[in-house]
Amino acid sequence: MARPKASFWSQQNVIVTGGSGFLGKAVVAKLQACGCKKIFVPRSRDYDLRKSPAICRLIKTVKPTLIIHLAASVGGIGANRENPGKFFYDNLMMGVELIEQSRLLGVPKFVAIGTICAYPKFLSVPFKEDDLWNGYPEETNAPYGLAKKMLLVQAQAYRQQYGFNAIYLLPVNLYGPHDNFSPQSSHVIPALIKKCLDAKEKKEKSIVVWGTGKATREFLYVDDAANGIVLAAEKYNKPEPVNLGAGFEISIKDLVQMIASLTGFKGDIIWDTTQPDGQPRRCLDTQRAYQEFGFKAKETFVGGLKKTIAWYIAQQKKQVKR
């Protein structure tokens, strides 16, 4: 797999929005490992990225050569159902204002991070980038997915009209250490890890999981995603969107059984079929990322799950000691 060049990154001055978040921490660590000395992570209390004056102040202060836009209002199926308006507004305005002000203030390159939720609900797998406009996204996360999808439209329009170098990446569902384990807003892997470990600790005989278990997903380890983003930021300068994935598909039923086994939970799995499955299938075609900038995921799924579970257990022990 291709590796980012230290000589390139030593000359960059990078803003990473969302750099203190789950994916952001991994991207910042990767940039540092590549020799990038100037990395600025704006905090929401200092810069409201939905507002142009705050973004102007940020860009004029930092004078970046590159912006990697990771910041997002995001959550699982439940959070998407409860916050469709917020997720639409926050994600649309952050992206639109950041790209516009970056253009006006002469930022040389912008990396926009999209979402697999932008893909149509019913689509044959693996999803190819050219299929993005072949239908409406899955309803529960459509406002979020469409808001992020507009950044692709903006990036391509700005490249065409202004020659602005903005690229657009589509990572599949991520997982790994530092993920969000909140029951109210977590995605499926951290939610299941927490459920299994909590039930094991309380000696409960069963856990309840949403849906039927028939839906499938693809998962990319967060460090692999960070490597893909850093490679693209260095090497990719074209208008076409690029998928970042691991190239495999697993059913939610098999995922639950795998996590139960790895956490040592031996109870029953009760499927709450009154709750939605979300998109029926998700799996990305990852050929373009490999062809354009040499990206290929390295971490095995079982290995990544073990690291994620071990990290979460360590965090819980730290909280107990406090």
Q: How many CA atoms lie within 13 A of 261 on its CB side?
A: 8
Q: Active site includes 144?
A: yes
C-beta separation of 98 from 113 below 8 A: no
- Tokens representing 71? 């910041």
Residue in 47, 144, 158, 168 annotated catalytic: 144
Secondary structure of the chain as H, E, C letters: CCCCCHHHHCCCEEEEECCCCHHHHHHHHHHHHCCCCEEECCCCCCCCCCCHHHHHHHHHHHCCCEEEECCCCCCCHHHHHHCHHHHHHHHHHHHHHHHHHHHHCCCCEEEEECCHHHCECCCCCCECHHHCCCCCECHHHHHHHHHHHHHHHHHHHHHHHHCCCEEEEEECEEECCCCCCCCCCCCHHHHHHHHHHHHHHCCCCEEEEECCCCCEECEEEHHHHHHHHHHHHHHCCCCCCEEECCCCCEEHHHHHHHHHHHHCCCCEEEEECCCCCCCCCCCECCHHHHHHHCCCCCCCHHHHHHHHHHHHHHHHHHHHHC
Burial class (CB in 10 A: 0-12, 13-18, 19+), 272: exposed
Q: Which residues are catalytic?
A: 144
